[in-house]
Structure 1
Amino acid sequence: MSQAENSDDKSLVERFLEDNVLFLGPDPEIMKNHKLAPESPRETQALAQFTDPEVVNLVRNKLQTACNESFEMVEQMGAAPGAKWGDLISGIWTSSGDLALSSMGGVLLFSVLTQHPVKFIVKYWADEPTVGIHEGDIFMHNDARYGNAHNTDQSLLIPVFHEGQLICFTGAVVHEGENGATEPGGMPSAAESPFDEGLKIPPLKVGENYTFRRDIMTFLQNSVREPKLQLEGMKAKLYAAMRMKDRVLDAIAEYGVDPVIATLRRTLTDTADEVRRRLRTWPDGTVRQNVFPDGTLRENCLVKIRLAMTKKDDELILDFRGSSPEFLNRANNTILSSMKGMLAQEFLTFVWPDLPRNQAVFEPMTVVTDPGSALNCSPDAPNAQCMMTFFPSFTAAQLAVPKFLYSAGERSTDIVAGWYNMIVTLIYGGINQHGELVGNVCADLNGMGGAARSNRDGEHAVAPIFAPMADIGEQELIEEEVPILKIVPNRVMRDNQGFGKFRGGQGYQQIATAKDSAMWGFMVCSIGSKFPSSHGIFGGYGPGTFPLCKIKNVDMFKVMDDQRELLRYTIEELMNDRPFPDATYSTHHMGLQFELAERGELYMLTQGAGGGYGDVLERAPEAVAADYRDGLVSLSTARDIYQVVLNPDTAAVDAEATSAARNAERAARLKRGKPFAEFVKDWETETPPADVPFFGSWGDPRLLFRGTPEDTCPADAIVPVMMPNPKDVRIAELEAKLAQLQG
């Protein structure tokens, strides 16, 4: 056979394979690349014909206002807790799929995530005869493997045309919650495979002529526990997208199509250029930071997050190699693109909040991971609880950045310590008081304690790390929809702060129960019950560790009727005093899989605190006294941590005794101290401790431990971890005890 015939046969086979793709899964070229798409010929033309910076500013402000307006529309119309209380964004994407503008409030981690499904639509559906992109089309998506945080987030977008030409896309992304997963609420910590995670919608056309297809809508509603919520959420996002489309067309009518196209592109390139300029003011160097999640939500263990952050010229490299291997049957893994979105949140909110909310903020940055790690998991690993690894990854970055900013030539914000980083709240499911099957998450997860700053204390329960402007919800409105009653909804807990020269903002305690339901249950999904999930900086303390507390075999509503004198209103008093004689009191890590609860039983959580900044001995005694008067710290904390001597009745500072106490503590520190070489000799070991399940590198980042000192794998050939079922582990323990008792 001739070479020409071989070539023809090869071309024929290649064309056949191209025309007969069995499955359009996530595109690695799209998913691995968070950079801007190349400038299109139409953008080049618009940029050449339109250069007026004043008009660019006018168009940009008009479109930004449209994003903010549509954000408020979704908040007002949405039914899901995430929609009502700000866990969303709305935005405008270029015709190539880059997010150019998004709402000022909401979940900014979506800013770097949402480009991927749009680029999939542009690449695969534009020229696909059975799909296409036409005016009036409605596209939807939720699968994290095509670009999302996790499957509980749903996006909807529409193309915007002008005179037959695709100009951009508009749409919104909302944490909708319920998605038909193996546990209610959309974030199943019990998921052992991607097929336990509920709806898996790739970028999908769900409507035409701005109208949903009823058959597809019925399919989606039939796949979840709350069909009304699914319908309402899709409608709210559609109307918001249509409002933004109208505003884009208004801008075209007022300024012209070239100014709009040029503004979208310039907003991206100007942002990237400005980030590079600011990075050049940072000192070159490398900062290393380790963070240790203390569990998978099903068992306690140490999961290492290892970061080496390197700044060189105008680029920032975040190297996470040496972090934990993936868990093939646990939900705490993250897709790499999801982690990039969370890392971008650090810069959009805490470093450069003055920059436009778009993906270009992260363009000059590079993320390096080990494929198959928990931070860059395979498609076979579940990721419904990806927050358990990408939140700590965010914290690693947040703790590393101040080392650069402290010496930076330019700063846009105060230097902050580690923000509290866990979603401490109740996920619920069951039959509500109206007889409807429901499942979702409480919005008070948004009240995370703010970190201390370089010049002042952190704010109490101010905002989540993933959304600078979000709300914790109104308890009265929540009680109208679900049978959850908060005996104590949001009460700041004493001593719950990151101690320091400037203390972190405090979190609140929640004491909840349920009534008027034939079937109701709760979940909790948080880490940090054994090992702090965040930290302070420059000598400041991290937050404490927080357990889940339960009081079972009690009906609080009967107690309210007959024995009100037994009531207590803090977790501390309830768990220490144990006022209900026949109840069962218990504490647990905060990875509770869904369990049914009886009427009046109590579930108690503590929202965490922000990390502290600086040495506790440098905190102004008057500030400690003020915290004591406000009930934020106890007398023992003032005395033992801050070394401040107070009058317990008046909170007056004994200046002389305080000075003596602090001098004594400084002397004690010197006595406890060791030369570094001596300390390291005692501290360092060849392998992790045998009695603590440890996952990740110990010394050499090229060698990963898989739970025991004997079980290792190379970082460039990771062997996924399979964890035993905790119930099987418990059964084996009990059988061993039984065998021992039986002799």
Structure 2
Amino acid sequence: MTRARTFDPVSLEIMWSRLIGIADDMWTTVLRTAVSTIIGAAQDFGCEILDAEGHSVAHSNRSMPVFNIVMPTVTRAVIERYPVETMRPGDVFVTNDPWLCAGHLDDIATITPVFHGGRVVAFAVTVAHTSSIGGALARRTVRDIYEEGLRIPLLKLYDAGELNETAWAFIRENVRTADMVLTDIEATLTANDLGARRIVAFLEEYGLPDLVDVARAIQEHSERAMREAIRALPDGDYEHEVWADGLDEPVHLRCRVTVRGDEITVDYAGSDPERPRGGINCTLTYTKAHTVYPLKCLLSPTVPANEGTFRPFTITAPEGSILNCRVPASVGSRVRTGWHIHSLLFGALERALPDRVQAGNGLMNSVHVYGQEPNGRFYNAHFFIAGGRGASRGRDGIGRNCFPSSARNVPVEVFEARTPVLIHTRELREDSAGRGQWRGAFGHRLEMGVLPGYPAPVSFFIDPDRLRFPPRGLSGGEDGPLTEVLVNGRRLTPEEIGAGQITLSGPDERLVLHIPGGGGYGPPDQRDPALIEADIRSGLVTPTGAAVGS
């Protein structure tokens, strides 16, 4: 095939799938070579191919959605500082700047220019959540970005193939379990290198000098699909507000979604100002990502995403608000605000898309265990566990995945192998889903303690959500339950959770988390009696819990 401005549909589909396949190979490389639980087990990372101007072309099917959306931003920041004409083969760039990258310091981006015919023709990019970036373990206590860890400015990690030893040393000396962190970064570099070689082989196979025409065709196809989906919506202004737990006081979020023709504007004016501590602030880059991703899910779920997908959207938030915070605001726990954006948008668009929106989610919770064993070895592992998904019209909640994240629930065996912790119980909780004509997915019960025979206390660092505001039902559906944190049988109040550090002294003590199920959709008295009977037979709904008005 020779270079052309247009491609026949079959050829374009094949080439598009090939590029997605290259990104999938990058993703698999990270999965197989990373060593932390947060990357290797929870799969909290993403891989993407971008054109020479930093516009996204294809990402892995399993990439973290928010990472896919921020990778063009960080790549274009690289190009602005280091023009492509000055780049050389072997260059690799790195940063974790929350205002350029994925919204908090733990997410590190590695950006590799791809050379073909003596010039940059693409970029292979990976963003991954590292197991440590230094800073405070109890994130609810931090007051600014400086207390949250090492902030890596946009710089060259490799210069024409030579490692920047100074930058490498700064990272090594400022993180916990440095071997784990550096090995994970090396996994992303390996993936980028694989992607770069595969892109060059792709261009050579098709006789293409660069990705320009292929990228343009792919992006235009995705953009057309999105604009067609938007045109199907009634023009209008759709508003909604939600409340989130916050820290000392609740957080109020507000949006106005304006649909005009084939474009959508989302304005977050009226949302709360940024907060002085606790890391619950969102950078605008992160807010934009958590806006366009749920809109993509609603409007064009079957067309692979890339730069063209998001061109019809404009997102604004007042500077200094909790959704557009300023340096040096703390951002380490930004998910506790950003993960409520999809519910805000779904509530706004319920009137326009009643058959697609979803009731509130139980959301994901994380338990981080870090410490030093008597032999001097450090342990450092994250345990992710998701709440139940909300119901939607015509369908019960579809499971306990981590939407709006695509992270994975960490297997019990992996977590136990890395820490002196024994998981006594991980089970679905009965009567833990919001009732409705369609009910939410059930929540979890997680019980953990110190490994019997272990000679020292173990500290668990938690930052739970939905302690005050449950997953909301839609269209008459009931809310899901609240999160509960129990220590030795006693339920802690949000105030008692405090900094989020819970220390268990021995094997007889227990930390128990009740993770919420999702909200229901539609009036509970309209649920099909056959489905109610099936719920009761499953053992996850009691006759009392199934009774309307109970």
- The question of a shared fold, defined as TM-score above 0.5 by the shorter chain, is answered with yes
**What residue in structure 1 maps to residue 438 of structure 2?**
502
**What residue in structure 1 maps to residue 205 of structure 2?**
254
In the superposition, relative to structure 1, how do residues 547 and 213 fare at CA in structure 2: closer, same or farther (>3 Å)?
same
**What residue in structure 1 maps to residue 252 of structure 2?**
304
Structure 1 residue 596 and structure 2 residue 503: aligned? Answer: yes
Matched ranges for 1:606-685 at <5 A: 606-641=514-549
- Bigger mean CA deviation after superposition, 589-598 or 303-312: 589-598
What's the CA shift string for 1:473-494, capped at 9, x where partnerless? Answer: 2212221111121111x20011
**What residue in structure 2 maps to residue 62 of structure 1?**
18
**What residue in structure 1 maps to residue 482 of structure 2?**
545
User: Once the 2 structures are TM-superposed, how far is the Cα of residue 211 of structure 1 from its aligned partner?
Assistant: 5.5
Q: In the alignment, is the contact (CA less than 8 A) between 1:347 and 1:361 conserved in 2?
A: no
Q: In the alignment, is the contact (CA less than 8 A) between 1:417 and 1:535 conserved in 2?
A: no
Structure 1 residue 605 and structure 2 residue 513: aligned? Answer: yes
Structure 1 residue 429 and structure 2 residue 370: aligned? Answer: yes
What's the CA shift string for 1:493-527, capped at 9, x where partnerless? Answer: 11110110000111111011123364531121122
Matched ranges for 1:710-721 at <5 A: none
Structure with a larger share of its residues in strand? 2
**What residue in structure 2 maps to residue 520 of structure 1?**
458
Q: In the alignment, is the contact (CA less than 8 A) between 1:251 and 1:260 conserved in 2?
A: no
**What residue in structure 2 maps to residue 365 of structure 1?**
313
Within 1, Cα distance between the matches of 2:524 and 2:320?
41
Q: In the alignment, is the contact (CA less than 8 A) between 1:419 and 1:449 conserved in 2?
A: no
SS class of match (2:123): strand
User: Once the 2 structures are TM-superposed, how far is the Cα of residue 415 of structure 1 from its aligned partner?
Assistant: 1.8
Q: 2:359 aligns with which of 418, 421, 424?
A: 418
Structure with a larger share of its residues in helix? 1
User: Once the 2 structures are TM-superposed, how far is the Cα of residue 286 of structure 1 from its aligned partner?
Assistant: 2.1
In the superposition, relative to structure 1, how do residues 209 and 127 fare at CA in structure 2: closer, same or farther (>3 Å)?
closer
User: Once the 2 structures are TM-superposed, how far is the Cα of residue 305 of structure 1 from its aligned partner?
Assistant: 0.5
**What residue in structure 1 maps to residue 193 of structure 2?**
242
SS class of match (1:510): strand
SS class of match (2:365): coil
**What residue in structure 2 maps to residue 179 of structure 1?**
133
SS class of match (2:350): helix
User: Once the 2 structures are TM-superposed, how far is the Cα of residue 258 of structure 1 from its aligned partner?
Assistant: 4.2
Q: In the alignment, is the contact (CA less than 8 A) between 2:47 and 2:68 conserved in 1?
A: no
Q: In the alignment, is the contact (CA less than 8 A) between 1:49 and 1:258 conserved in 2?
A: no
User: Once the 2 structures are TM-superposed, how far is the Cα of residue 195 of structure 1 from its aligned partner?
Assistant: 0.3
**What residue in structure 2 maps to residue 207 of structure 1?**
158
Structure 1 residue 457 and structure 2 residue 396: aligned? Answer: yes
Structure 1 residue 476 and structure 2 residue 438: aligned? Answer: no
Structure 1 residue 193 and structure 2 residue 134: aligned? Answer: no
Matched ranges for 1:539-578 at <5 A: 539-551=476-488, 575=489
CA RMSD of aligned residues (A): 2.2
Within 2, Cα distance between the matches of 1:153 and 1:77?
17
In the superposition, relative to structure 1, how do residues 204 and 594 fare at CA in structure 2: closer, same or farther (>3 Å)?
farther
- Bigger mean CA deviation after superposition, 430-439 or 141-150: 430-439
What's the CA shift string for 1:36-59, capped at 9, x where partnerless? Answer: xxxxxxxxxx98655444433222
Aligned length: 543
SS class of match (1:278): helix
Within 2, Cα distance between the matches of 1:82 and 1:264?
32
**What residue in structure 2 maps to residue 511 of structure 1?**
447
SS class of match (2:536): helix
**What residue in structure 2 maps to residue 117 of structure 1?**
74
Within 1, Cα distance between the matches of 2:442 and 2:24?
30
- Give the share of equivalent positions with the same residue, in percent: 23
Q: In the alignment, is the contact (CA less than 8 A) between 2:90 and 2:160 conserved in 1?
A: yes
Q: In the alignment, is the contact (CA less than 8 A) between 2:484 and 2:515 conserved in 1?
A: no
In structure 1, runs of 5+ residues without a counterpart are: 1-45, 407-413, 552-574, 576-584, 644-743
Structure 1 residue 530 and structure 2 residue 468: aligned? Answer: yes
In structure 1, what residue type is equivalent to 2:475? F
Within 2, Cα distance between the matches of 1:65 and 1:87?
19
SS class of match (2:211): helix
SS class of match (2:226): helix
Q: 2:281 aligns with which of 313, 316, 333?
A: 333
What's the CA shift string for 1:528-567, capped at 9, x where partnerless? Answer: 11222x312111122111221111xxxxxxxxxxxxxxxx
Q: In the alignment, is the contact (CA less than 8 A) between 2:283 and 2:325 conserved in 1?
A: yes
Question: Structure 1-normalised TM-score?
Answer: 0.70
Question: Structure 2-normalised TM-score?
Answer: 0.93
User: Once the 2 structures are TM-superposed, how far is the Cα of residue 295 of structure 1 from its aligned partner?
Assistant: 2.4
- Bigger mean CA deviation after superposition, 589-598 or 167-176: 589-598
Matched ranges for 1:369-384 at <5 A: 369-384=317-332
Within 1, Cα distance between the matches of 2:236 and 2:455?
58
Within 1, Cα distance between the matches of 2:434 and 2:356?
16
Within 1, Cα distance between the matches of 2:180 and 2:46?
18
